[in-house]
Structure 1
C-alpha cells in the first residue's frame, strides 16, 4: 500500500507548523498520509534537509520569494539567490511536487505537479483564537495593523511611505506594524524611515499567535503589503477576524482571497506604488466583508480543512511513482 511521510526535521516558521497541522488533520482520515514502513518522504520546504536523499521523494515548496527578488536588500540577495538555485535543482529532481501556490513555478515535467492547493487555516489557529480572547493589544486598537516578518518582500517600506501620504492627505487613523526583524540592514532602514511619521507604532519583534490575532481583531483595518507570498496563513487569519482587509496584488495573496469570493482588480493595490497604497487606506475594498463572512465561523474553516485534506489524499493516490522497499 502506498503511504507518504511528511518529514518534519529542522526548524520551521509559523506557516510551516500550520502546514503540518493541516497534514495531521488530514492523516486522521486518510491513511495514505500517515507514514509508516516504506513510506515515501514528502519535504514541505524548498530544499530538503540532509545529504543522503532517497531516490524517490516529494517536495512541497513553501517559499515563493526566490522567484520574486525585486526590492531585496543586498544582505538578503545572496541567501535568496542560493535558495532559488537549490530549490530549482530539487524541484527538477523530486518525483512529484505538491504545489501550494501559483507563485511557485513549474519546472521540468508539468505532469508531476499537483493542482494548486492553497493552505486552509489550521487547527492551531482555532486554539490560538480561543487563547486570543484573553489578550488585548491597546496599541493596535483603531489603527491600521500589519503583522509579519520584516524581510524586504513584506514591503514595509512602501507601507510606511503610503501611510505617510495618507496622513498628509488628512487621514486620522494610526498605524501599528509588528514582526520579527530578519536582516539588520532592512531593520535599520525601516527605523530611519519611521522617524517623523505621525501616529506610527513600529515594534520590531515577534508576537505570539494569540497576541497577533488579538491585534488583528482590534484593528481599524488590516493591511497586507507584501510584494510576494506563496499561500499566506496571515491573510486567512486577517479575513477570519476582520471585515476590513486591504490586500496587495501579490499573486499568492490574490489567489487565496479569490478562492473565497471573486473580486475585480481594484480590490488589490499595487505593492510597488505608495500612492496606490495610500488610496487603499482611505477605502478598504467592499469585498473584504465577503471574505470575512466566508471564514468567520469554525464550521466554515473546518470545511476548508476537510476539502484540502481530501484533495491532497486524492492527488497522492493518483501518483504513479515507485514505492520504496521497507
Structure 2
C-alpha cells in the first residue's frame, strides 16, 4: 500500500465546489472596487478595514515562507491551529465512519474537533517516558484510520518525541501524520518542515501564539504538500484571517531578531526554574522540557493550585490527565513572575501542617 490522497478524502469534499468570493475572482490592485458589496465610504476605523481581506493571505505567506524556508503553496493559515485541526478532520474523515489516533497526554483540541465532527477517537497513551508506543499505534490502526496526531514538543508534558519514532510512522502509515509543533521554537530539535518533500502524508502545524507572542491575533500555520493545502483552502471559510490580524502579523514578522531574543530569555528562565524548583519541599519532580512551560509533580496539586490562585498566580492543574497525576503545568513567566511563584511555593511549604 502507498499513500494516495484521493483515497483519504471524503467523497463530498472531492465533489465540493468551494465558495468563490469577490477576492477570489479578482486578484491584483485596482483604483475602484465595486464588486464585493463593501461600504465604499470607509469605516469608523481606518479606511481599508471596509474592504475584505485577501482570502489566501499571500503577503503573510510570502514573508513566512522567507523565514521558514517553505514555498507559499505549501502554507495554510488558519484562525489559530484549532482551525487547521478542524479543517483536516472535516476534509478527510467521514462522520460516523472514520477515526483518528491521538496519544494522550496531549493537546485537547484533537479530541474536541473529532467529537464535534462525529469522528471516532482511538487513544494510544504515551509510554511512562512520554514517548510514542509504536506497537500499540500499529495495533490501533485500521482501514478507517485517516490520521494520527502527534504533538512534539508535547503539551502538557513539555518533552520532544523521538524523531526516529515519528519517521517510522511517516514511512509505514499511509494516512496523514499531523505533527503539532506549536512549541518548536523553544526546542533544541529541528522542525519537520524541511522534510515536506520526502513525505506526501506529512502535515505540520505551527503557531504565532507562542514564541511570536501573538496569541490574541489567532493565526495558526499548516505546512503540507500543495495537494493537501489546496484541499484545506477549499474547505476553510473564505475570509478566515481578518485584515487587522494580517496587518499586525506582517509587522511582527519583520522583527525576527526581537523574537529570537525573547526565545533565548524564555529558555534561560526555564533553565533557572529547572534548577530552583526541585529544591522546594512541595516539588517531587520537574520533567525535562523543550517548551515554554514545565510539568511539575507536587505533593498536593489541587491544594497548591488553589493556594497559588489566592496569591494571584494562575497555573494549570493537570492532575486529572493521563500520566500527569499530581502535576501542575507552569508557563515560564518573566524573571519577576517566576520569582513570585517561587516565593509563594516557599510560603505554602512553610505553613503549619
- Does TM, normalized by the shorter one, top 0.5? no
Q: Whose radius of gyration is greater, 1 or 2? A: 2
TM-score calculated relative to the size of structure 1: 0.31
Return the structure number with greater strand share: 2
Q: When you count helix as a share of all residues, which structure comes out higher?
A: 1
TM-score w.r.t. structure 2 length? 0.29
Larger RCO, structure (CA 8 Å, separation 6 or more): 1
